[in-house]
Structure 1
Amino acid sequence: MNTVLHAAPPQGLLLDLDGTLVDTRGDFQQALQRMLAQLPAPYASFVVELEQVEHLVGKGTEHLVRSLLAQVQRSHGLHTLEESMVQQALQAYMAHYPHINGHYSTVYAGVQAGLQRCQQQGLPMACVTNKPERFARDLLQAKGLLGYFQLVVGGDTVARKKPDPMPLLHACSTLGWAPARTWMVGDSSNDVVAARAAGCPVLLVPYGYNHGESVQSAGADAYIDTLEQLPLAAP
């Protein structure tokens, strides 16, 4: 664990969702598998593995679906991905996801205790994720986490997703927080890039996805093993 963070105590926290608060690989796997089953060959027979999901998540629903379809095509020597197929797949995915959201996912160890600690110290929190806002709210509600957050910013709440800084700046503006006093807590380089552009200090947990790459290479200000280890006291 590395919790060296040369920043003032936070005014508020922005927390990522998938890979930071909840392990949602199982949800994604199920939704994608059911999506593919509605598509023609060769998509319908493709088996989605958890490792594939881990490498693809983090940049929003459309990126997830497009990337998986491209993988299926490459595995069959195909090169042209028709836009009509992408739209058909997205429609199927969005239809299936609400029915499995939260059913194949688990809250990471230390998350509940970490959020409770922040709440007890009077530190306000917002969830900033690339998951569509309604799915994010439903998942947080299902896992008993929604009540910790003053605001949920999803991938469709504003015009651009992380790694663009817009979702972070929207949260700060809405809640009246100064970005320099607002910590972003996530699991990937996506969170680091967005936080840097927004002017927020950024901490990462090591157990998330980070597009299949080592989180230590993402260049965060600090790394913590669990949310229980957030260095909230003044240095």
Structure 2
Amino acid sequence: MIYGSRHHSPSTAGFLRGRDGRSRWNHGRHARGFRQGHRRHAARSETAGNRCQPHRTHGRQGLGAPAAVSAHPCAERERRWRRGGEGAATHARAWDRYQWHYERINGQYSTLYPGVADGLAALARAGYPMACLTNKPTAFAHELLKAKGLHGYFGHVFGGDAFERKKPDPMPLVKTCEALCTPPAKTLMVGDSSNDASAARAAGCPVVLVTYGYNHGEPIRSVNADAFVDSLTELA
């Protein structure tokens, strides 16, 4: 595996890890609460003669929280309003409420995949500087990593609002390499989706993908990556 050449000192051998601590959602109570919230919203909308159906944001994960909000069926109507000079305040309120709810359930119904903590601990002992780069808002990424006991492994945490563009654009990855003081060619990107692989390829980083997590519903091994691992411990 590649995390930066072992011929370089730890200060010049970077390791980049995509996403949010390799956590996964347990959709139990969170999903029920989400559906209940949708039903309340739908009832209010129907009273106003404007019903929006509950929906899923399948395929929008990994693109950042605003993408999930924008994927809602109501969003297209909202975009039409905004083009007409209306609805900006409604959109702002919806985004504020999304963040309010996200903050309160962030990490409560998720667990780490096996090998995550052990793998990160082994890489830290080996002296590799690490950063977490995710499309999740930065504040939420910090809190999730703290809640799962992973925050101390990362010298830098950058969310989707940290730079002008998000993955799969390479710019956040290039900026993270700069923060680590490592050239892209010596910095390993570890991710779980085609977004991560595309960003790494465009930035000039080698990329390894884990075989768990999500990849927008597509087989992960069909993605152009340098290698695949079933656990982060395989990288140590």
- 2-structure distance, mates of 1:6, 1:150: 16
- 2-structure distance, mates of 1:109, 1:92: 33
Q: Is the 8 A contact 1:65 1:86 kept in 2?
A: no
Return the offset for 1:63. 1.0
Relative to structure 1, the CA distance from residue 6 to residue 168 in structure 2 (aligned partners, 3 Å threshold; closer, same or farther) is closer
Structure 1: which amino acid aligns with 2:110? Answer: S
Q: Indicate yes or no: 2:111 matched with 1:82.
A: no
Relative to structure 1, the CA distance from residue 25 to residue 11 in structure 2 (aligned partners, 3 Å threshold; closer, same or farther) is farther
Return the offset for 1:183. 0.4
1:141-180 to 2 correspondence within 5 Å?
Answer: 141-180=146-185
Return the offset for 1:167. 1.1
In terms of Rg, which structure is larger?
A: 2
Q: Which residue of 2 aligns with 1:215?
A: 220
Structure 1: which amino acid aligns with 2:225? Answer: A
Q: Is the 8 A contact 1:28 1:53 kept in 2?
A: no
1:1-235 to 2 correspondence within 5 Å?
Answer: 8-9=5-6, 11-18=13-20, 21-24=22-25, 26=27, 29=31, 33=35, 36=38, 37-38=40-41, 40-41=45-46, 42-43=51-52, 46=54, 52-53=56-57, 55-67=59-71, 69-70=72-73, 80-83=76-79, 84=87, 86-230=91-235
Structure 2 unaligned spans of 5+: 7-11, 80-86
Q: Is the 8 A contact 2:3 2:186 kept in 1?
A: no
Structure 2: which amino acid aligns with 1:112? Answer: A
Which gives a bigger RCO, structure 1 or 2 (Cα 8 Å, sep 6+)? 1
Return the offset for 1:171. 1.0
Q: Is the 8 A contact 1:114 1:227 kept in 2?
A: yes
Return the offset for 1:88. 4.0
Return the offset for 1:191. 0.3
Structure 1 unaligned spans of 5+: 74-78
- 2-structure distance, mates of 1:101, 1:110: 21
The two structures have a TM-score, normalised by structure 1, of 0.81
The two structures have a TM-score, normalised by structure 2, of 0.80
